[in-house]
Structure 1
Amino acid sequence: MEDLLAARLQMAVSLGFHIIFACIGMAMPFLMAIAEYQWIKTGRQVYRDLAKAWSKGVAIFFATGAVSGTVLSFELGLLWPTFMEHAGPIFGMPFSWEGTAFFVEAIALGLFLYGWDKLRPWVHWGTGLVVGISGVASGIFVVAANAWMNSPAGFDWVNGEAINIDPVAAMFNDAWFSQALHMTLAAFVATGFAVAGLHALLLLKDRNNLFHQKAFKIALLVGGIAAILQPLSGDYAAKDVAERQPAKLAAMEGHFKTSQPAPLILGGIPDEEAEEVDYAIEIPYMLSFLAHGDFDAEVTGLDKIPREEWPPVLITHIAFQVMVGTGVLMMLVGLLYFYFLWRKNELIQRRWFLWLVGICTPLGFIAVEAGWTVTEVGRQPWIIYGIMKTEEALSPMPGLRYSFYMITVLYLLLTAVVSWLMYRQIITLSDRYESAH
């Protein structure tokens, strides 16, 4: 295995695992806070039990997210030293703010976990809210750093060196808001549907379990709202990509030929040699509208991009289709849920709907992984878009494949341990609650 491929795969594995932990860490504290709010307002013990159960999950994923995030920060320097040499002074600001948000989150989580019956109820609830807010802030700061790689700003590049550095302009680059908005909503969609799906599957075994009923409703409420809003943020992000990274948009859509107007391509398998997409469905004019808000707008194709600067079209296109497909499905499930709520139908008694939500359990995280594949693979061959290519940033250290193997095994073991801890926590409390009520 070549060192460049090994380094790329190691970053992909590390980021692929970390992003799941990070998404749960961003969204689950709000589920926890909603449950405690319901307990304070109603006095019903089931909500307190639920808040406590979710808080232990938050603690587990906070710890794993901290570990996996630390690994990623070391990998940036170890695998891509040339990148960090130039980029570190420019986009270090969001990482420093991320560290501040992390410490605030850690303090607030400690107060929440050990403050039961010691703090006043509303003060205790407020600490949980701080956990969620600081977790989201931490995610936004990291995404801002990634957005800088897609939309470099805050410096002048002269003779291979960055001068006139402005860290504030680098942090608030043209891509930070669209990426941060899309990623934050994705975290709530993925976590909401994963939690709702898990409790839906448990309700299929015992539909009278009040613990699972309340957990299901809170999680699907959060996930459903985020899923309905997500296509709006996706449209905004796609228009932004069309302006800044036409090669990425062309790869996402399998759009080989510049055209005016341009059709939207659904599905299909791109053939880079023939420069066409096999087995695809085309919707005339639609890509022009989605990319530029004009049915007659010209959309740049890969034919206007030098061949050596093409992203891997097949991977980017399929990942984009997976992201959109799973996102649309969850949006439809969310709309169906709110429709039935409006009609005052009791969905928990409908096995088909529980099965439907249960099937959606992994879809949010599949969409997240696919979305990050689009973001990272679609930027290639650049590590800093238009400035530095990925191969130019690679470490000269040989044998990078061995660190890739080691990291992969460690993450698989970590995932197994976390899954076991979460399963034991949910099943134990569920059984105890069932016997108590």
Structure 2
Amino acid sequence: MALSLGWHIIIACFGVALPAMIFVMHLRGIRRDDPVALGLAQRWAKVSAVLFAIGAVSGTVLSFEMGVLWPGLMGPFGDVLGLPFAFEGLAFFLEAIFLGIYLYGWGRMPAKQHVMMVLPMALTGIVGAYCVIAVNSWMNDPTGFRIVGGEVTDVQPWSVLFNAHAFVQFAHMWLGAYMIAGFTVAGVYAVGMLRGRRDAHHRLGFMVPFVFASVAALTQPFAGHVLGLGLDERQPAKLAAFELAETQESPSPLRLGGVLVDGEVKGNIDIPGLGSLIAMNSLTDPVPSLDQIPADEQPPVNTTHLAFQTMVGIGTLLAAGVAGFWVLRRRGIDLLEKRWFLRSVALAGPLSVIALEAGWVATEVGRQPWIVQGVLRTTDAVGDYSSGLWWLLGASSVVYTAMTIGAVVVLRSMARRWRAGETDLPSPYAPERDADDREEVPAR
């Protein structure tokens, strides 16, 4: 499940964020009569279609895994989680419909109608992602049901879908999606500029996603801070692991690095008082400590702590980098002329992926031993598969490896043909068009 989710979440980020970038680029193209912008919008849409196709495969695998691997969760709590998953499935199909209309609408629809087809793509991507995040938020702070005599009763599906922390957790994930998609796409054009391709195509292809990524990177720390408020009450063990607080201190320090070895923290750097300020919004309130939590309710501390600090560290680095870029640009210094900056942007995409994966490791590992906080333990939710599970893991690894290789091969082939001058790659099953009918149809 970790393999499947860790792979799928990266593809899902492009499904959430890329439509908005396509919309901005396409709108610029028709408003300014800019063929470069229109060409970029069309290319990004084709890339989005490839990613959507492989995301559909990995998402289907996940839907089976939820039922097969977690009978102790989906059995008793199926009625609780059914509505969010149903809406997510509906959003997926609607996104596929409008993606198809947009892809095949080039040269066949009036420009103003055509560009509007991107908006339902963006909206359904957001709705689908929200539904999944709402389920995860519910797992961290369960609500909308009662347990009577060991049975789940009085289910309130809407309470699950709109639980208290779903919107904030979604905002945190939504911004992360824009960071991944924005920095990755900008990094592609940064590499092109490093290789001497500094035309309008590459500069515009860099700037639009970089603006999206910049806004997300600068906003993300605030969203993360708001999400963390109240964690001392909802999940004190997770917060104690985040802060590596083995004993209670008032005020609590901000602990950088370090690992817990035989109950003692080693290799850390402490900044006095800052832990209370960041984690508790207080100058004196102590962070919950591990010695207050029963041993059988503590998560894997070192994994949780290091994953959390990896996410925060990379996020801080990216936010500082984009802030510096825009400050210097305002002062007339264009870092796009600096090769070291372009190399840094090329690395920003992979770094944002690492940050997102680390954030999910911190969230999920930090909740252990619970799959539903305080209600259902992970060991009681997972099925008993003995050695057969390893065969399933092996088969899944082969599938995801093949999809990764296939995606890379297809995308590289598309990029190579675009560089060779093939501006209008054919789409499968599309009707033939005359040569003079390949441009965007003007608005009537």
Q: Give the TM-score of the pair, scaled to structure 1.
A: 0.93
Say which of 19, 23, 32 aligns to 1:29. 19
Q: Report if aligned partners of 2:239, 2:287 keep a CA contact under 8 Å in 1.
A: no
- Counterpart of 2:141 (choices 129, 151, 161) is 151
Instruction: Tell me the residue number matched to 2:69.
Output: 79
In the alignment, the residues of structure 1 paired with residue 401 and residue 269 of structure 2 have an alpha-carbon distance, to the nearest angstrom, of 38
Tell me which residue corresponds to 2:375.
387
1:21-170 counterparts in 2 under 5 A? 21-170=11-160
Give the length in aligned residue pairs: 422
SS of the residue corresponding to residue 349 of structure 2 reads: coil
Report the counterpart of residue 334 of structure 1 in structure 2: 322
Q: Write the deviation string for residues 118-171 of structure 1: whole angstroms up to 9, x where unpaired.
A: 222121111112211211111111110111111110011233221111111122
Q: How big is the shift at 1:305?
A: 0.9
Secondary structure of 1:267 counterpart: strand
Query: Residue 270 of structure 2: which of 268, 282, 286 is its match?
Result: 282
Contact 1:156 1:165 in 2 (8 A): yes
What is the letter of the counterpart of residue 226 of structure 1? A
Shift of 1:427: 3.2
Aligned partners of 1:111 and 1:127 also within 8 Å = yes
CA distance in 1 between counterparts of 2:39 and 2:422 reads 8
Aligned equivalents of 1:95, 1:380: Cα separation in 2: 23
Cα shift at 1:320: 0.7
Distance 1:43 1:120 in 2: 14
Confirm or deny: 8 A CA contact 1:105 1:131 kept in the other structure: yes
SS of the residue corresponding to residue 100 of structure 2 reads helix
Amino acid at match of 2:85: F
Query: What do the CA deviations read for 1:383-404 (whole angstroms, capped 9, x no partner)?
Result: 1110111111121333211101
2 CA distance for matches of 1:433 and 1:253?
Answer: 53
Tell me the SS of whatever aligns to 2:60.
helix
Gap regions ≥5 residues in structure 1: 1-10
Given candidates 391, 400, 424, the residue that maps to 2:413 is: 424
In 1, are the aligned partners of 2:91 and 2:124 still within 8 Å (CA)? Answer: yes
CA contact (8 A) 2:91 2:127 kept: yes
Q: Give 1:403's aligned amino acid.
A: L
Contact 2:15–2:125 (Cα < 8 Å) also in 1: yes
Determine the structure 2 residue equivalent to 1:238. 228
Q: Report the counterpart of residue 357 of structure 2 in structure 1.
A: 369
Contact 1:260–1:298 (Cα < 8 Å) also in 2: yes
Whole-angstrom CA distance in 2 between matches of 1:161 and 1:206: 65
Q: Which residue matches 2:213?
A: 223
Aligned to 2:174: 184
Q: Give CA-to-partner distance per residue, 1:401-428, whole Å, 9 cap, x none.
A: 1101110121111111111212222232
Q: Distance in 1 between matches of 2:158 and 2:86?
A: 12
In the aligned structure 2, how far is the partner of 1:26 from the partner of 1:391?
A: 33
Please report how far the alpha carbon of residue 433 of structure 1 lies from its aligned counterpart in structure 2 after TM superposition.
Answer: 7.5
Q: Which residue of 2 aligns with 1:308?
A: 296
1:354 aligns with 2:336: no
* Preserved contact between residue 188 and residue 222 of structure 1 (Cα < 8 Å): yes
Deviation at 1:351, TM superposition (A): 1.4
Q: Show CA shifts across 1:255-310 (max 9, x none).
A: 11122221111112232x2x232111111111111122111112211111110111
Counterpart-to-counterpart distance in 2, 1:346 and 1:292: 40
- Which whole-Å CA distance do the structure 2 matches of 1:276 and 1:210 have between them? 56
Which structure 2 residue ranges, 5 or more long, are not aligned? 424-444
> Distance in 2 between the 1:209 and 1:394 partners?
54
RMSD (Å), alpha carbons: 1.5
Aligned partner letter, 1:420: V
* Residue in 2 that maps onto 1:5: none
Task: Check if 1:292 corresponds to 2:280.
Answer: yes
Alpha-carbon distance in 1 for matches of 2:228, 2:55? 28
CA drift of 1:77 comes to 0.8
Native 8 Å contact 1:32 1:128 kept in 2: yes
Residue 256 of structure 1 corresponds to: 246
Q: Percent identity?
A: 40
Find out whether 1:196 has 2:190 as its counterpart.
no
Deviation at 1:355, TM superposition (A): 1.5
Deviations, residues 166-225 of structure 1 (Å, cap 9, x unaligned) = 111122222212211100000001111111112111110024232221111111111011
Say which SS state the counterpart of residue 277 (structure 1) adopts: strand
- In the alignment, the residues of structure 2 paired with residue 137 and residue 392 of structure 1 have an alpha-carbon distance, to the nearest angstrom, of 31
Q: Output the CA distance in 2 between the equivalents of 1:103 and 1:369.
A: 26
Task: Tell me if the contact between 2:80 and 2:145 (Cα under 8 Å) persists in the aligned partners.
Answer: yes
In structure 1, the partner of 2:399 is: 410
Cα distance in 1 for partners of 2:285, 2:259 equals 25
Shift of 1:52: 0.8
The answer to whether the 8 A contact 1:254-1:276 is kept is no
Instruction: Point out the more displaced range, 192-201 or 15-24.
Output: 192-201
Q: Which amino acid aligns with 2:76?
A: H
**Aligned 8 A contact 1:270 1:317 in 2:** no
2:192–2:198: 8 Å Cα contact kept in structure 1?
Answer: no
2: CA distance, partners of 1:340 / 1:289 = 31
After superposition, give the CA deviation of every residue in 1:318-343 in whole Å (9 maximum; x if it has no partner). Answer: 11111011111111121122223322
Q: Distance in 2 between matches of 1:172 and 1:82?
A: 24
Native 8 Å contact 1:197 1:360 kept in 2 = yes
Aligned counterpart, 2:435 = none
